[in-house]
Amino acid sequence: MSVLVTGGAGYIGGHMTLGLLDAGESVVVLDNLSTGFDWAAPDEARLVVGDVGDADLVARLIEEHEVDAIAHFAAKLPRLFRRREDNMRHGTASTPFRPALASC
């Protein structure tokens, strides 16, 4: 299975990536490194530095890597949920991100 892990250079996403690799899955990490670190994404995963709000990039990654599933951990907390507009821009309900999820 091919999995796109957003926020895979962060704490939870990095552990998810390690678990998926241990299970023999193929992983591509999408992270803008705003709070994450490139070294936190395991070498066996392909790290793409970019934003989950970039719908074209997400769509291209899904196609190029034949992504079967997305694990979405890209987030900015705790400030994120203090403002509704930030929630809509970066959270799971992100408008640009939703079409990419639907295509998966």
Give the distance from CA 75 to its chain's centroid.
9
Of 11 and 39, CB closest to ligand NAD: 11
Question: How many residues sit in the footprint of ligand NAD (CB under 6 A)?
Answer: 23
Distance CA 51, CA 75 (A): 11
- Contacting residue, 13, 27, 58, 61, with ligand NAD by CB under 6 A: 13
Q: Does 33 bind ligand NAD (CB under 6 A)?
A: yes
Q: Does 11 bind ligand NAD (CB under 6 A)?
A: yes
2-6 and 26-31 strand pairing: parallel
Only segment of 7-15, 18-26, 56-64 that touches ligand NAD (CB under 6 A): 7-15
Q: CB-side exposure of 11: number of CA atoms within 13 Å?
A: 4
Residue reference for tokens 């936190």 = 40
- Write out the residues near ligand NAD by the rule CB under 6 A: 6-7, 9-13, 30-36, 51-53, 73-77, 90
